[in-house]
Structure formats: C-alpha cells, structure tokens
Amino acid sequence: MSILAVRQLSVWGKEKRIVDSISFDIHQGEWFALVGQSGSGKSVTAAAIGQLLPPNLYATGDVRYRDKNIVTLSETAIRQLRGKRLSYIFQDYQGSFTPFLTIGRHFEEYQRTHLNLSRAARKQQAEEALRSVGLSEQLYNRYPFQLSGGQLQRVSIAIALLLKPDILVADEPTTALDSVSSFQILQLLSRLQDETGCAILFITHDLRHVKKYADQIAVMNEGAIVESGAAKKILGNPSHPYTRTLIRSMPTLVQRDALTPEGVLP
Ligand SMILES: Nc1ncnc2c1ncn2[C@@H]1O[C@H](COP(=O)(O)OP(=O)(O)OP(=O)(O)O)[C@@H](O)[C@H]1O
C-alpha cells in the first residue's frame, strides 16, 4: 500500500502551468527518486506536496497521505503534519539555520512546537540525535557558522528525523556539498532509512545517486513525468527518449556500465 499517493498534481504560476497533472505513489520504506534536468519541476513538486509553495504559485490535484488530501489541509493541520509525519531537508541547508541561534536552540524550537518534554529531556534527545548522525553532542552549544557544510546538513537531517516521520523529502541535499561530504550524507540517509523505515522522496538531477540508492524513479521533463518505475529497470532499459538522453549525459554512469567485469571497455 502506498504511503503517499500523488494524483493529477498540477502547479500553476501566473502565466503558465509549471507541473502538469503528475501522478505517482511512494510506498513505506522506499527510496523514491524524482529526476530530471534543472527547471523540470522537481522542487516545485516537492514543495507542493507539503504546501510549501511560494505565494505566487498554487497547486491543484490530490496528494493522499493516510486517506487525507494534504494539499487542501488547513494551515494548522499541515504544520502539524510537516515535521511530525512529513519532513524536509533542502539543498540550501544554510537557509534552514538562524545564524545567532545555537544548534541546541534549533532543536529546542522544533521540539517545543511538536513535543511536550522537559528541558533536560529535550537536551538529551537532541544530543542523542546528534550522535545518530555521527556528530559530537558538543555541537549542541555551537553556532551554525562554526560547523562545516556537511556537519550542518547532518544537523538538518537529525532535526528532520527527530520525530520519526513516515516520509522525508530530500530536495537535492548534496548539491551544495563537496563529493566526499555528499557521499557521506547519502550513506547516512541510507543507514537512517534502514533504521527508521521512513520513505524518502529524493530530488536530484544526478543519476549516479539514483543508481546506487533508489528503488523507484520518476523522470520529469518540462513539468510532466515521462517515465516511472523500478530504478534498475529504467536505468538499464529506458523507454523514453528523454530518459535515454539524461542517461547519456552522465558520462561516468555510462562508462562504468560499459566496463567489463575486468574493468575495461568491451
Ligand atoms: N516562485 C516561482 N515563480 C514562478 N516560476 C517559478 C517559481 N519557482 C520555480 N519556478 C519555475 O518553475 C519551473 C520548475 O522549477 P523547479 O525549481 O521545480 O525545477 P527543478 O527541476 O527543481 O530544477 P533544479 O534542479 O534546478 O532545482 C522553472 O521553470 C522555474 O523557473
């Protein structure tokens, strides 16, 4: 059974339709990748799901989470859902932090909104969460500027997973990181997904990440989904010309695939 069922979701701007009646299902514990070139509508789709669109855009259609259309939930209801059941991490992790608040205060704000815990329990929970993403609990008292990009993205993951959501929306979470940090963040997400059983909606234009981690993919082009299904099948045998072009534009993916088991080109 799907945990999130997206049906005929469209996103409209003033002058045009940006996302064009797309449908897909995400199942419990699944890594679902939404892929496509820059500007194809991935981020707007992710934002529409949690009612995070900027004011000049609006969504129509159905996004079912536990039999509720969450696109039409009230502001209060969607706030409760976001964070508790549906969490987000973003490419721009810097933007998620307030420079003059410590890491601990960022946890606190989140905990106070969603939980009823004593101060000591909040601190203990935050320190455990920091350790779960491979960070020292000493970062609790530090300010965002004292952490590296990779560390800050780890903190946002720790906060996003604090309440054990059913779905984590990860919108290009590694784009702003160097390749070593990106690799570590993806490994971390994969481990935490195994541990928590959450589904991940992973937004990316990098098919190398998809190849390694995704169970299912949907390929977006100009606001529409042109092809979707099991990641292995689509990457191994794409049927849509756009998907084929996307795969061809990833030289390392093609080259690695083209190598024989001995590591040479046939
Ligand atoms: N606030 C906005 N107002 C008007 N148009 C917008 C707005 N935000 C995004 N768009 C347009 O919607 C389209 C899809 O943008 P979106 O950010 O979803 O693409 P994307 O596939 O996520 O790209 P990227 O990989 O570069 O993040 C683009 O043409 C973009 O210019």
Ligand 1 within 6 A of 13 CB?
yes
What is the bridge-based pairing of β-strands 2-12 and 17-27? Answer: antiparallel
In terms of Cα–Cα distance, which of 232, 230, 166 is closest to 201?
166
Q: Give me the DSSP letters along 142-175.
A: S-GGGS-HHHHHHHHHHHHTTT--SEEEEESTTT
In this prediction the ipTM stands at 0.96
Q: What's the pLDDT tens digit per position in 97-142?
A: 999 999 999 999 989 988 899 999 999 999 999 998 999 999 999 9
Domain boundaries, the chain: 2-85+167-249, 99-164
Cβ atoms of 49 and 70 closer than 8 Å? yes
Q: For Cα atoms 120, 86, 101, give the angle at the middle one, nearest 5 degrees.
A: 45
| Segment 65-93 mean pLDDT | 89
User: Ligand 1 test: best mutation among 11, 15, 42, 56, most atoms within 8 Å of CB?
Assistant: 42
User: What is the model's pTM?
Assistant: 0.90
User: Ligand 1 test: best mutation among 22, 40, 206, most atoms within 8 Å of CB?
Assistant: 40
Ligand 1 within 6 A of 52 CB?
no
CATH 1.10.520.10 for domain 2-85+167-249, yes or no, is no
Q: Rounded distance, CA 83 to CA 265, Å? A: 47
Per DSSP, the three-state class of 202 is strand
Position 255 scores a pLDDT of 52
Q: What's the pLDDT tens digit per position in 234-250?
A: 999 999 999 999 888 87
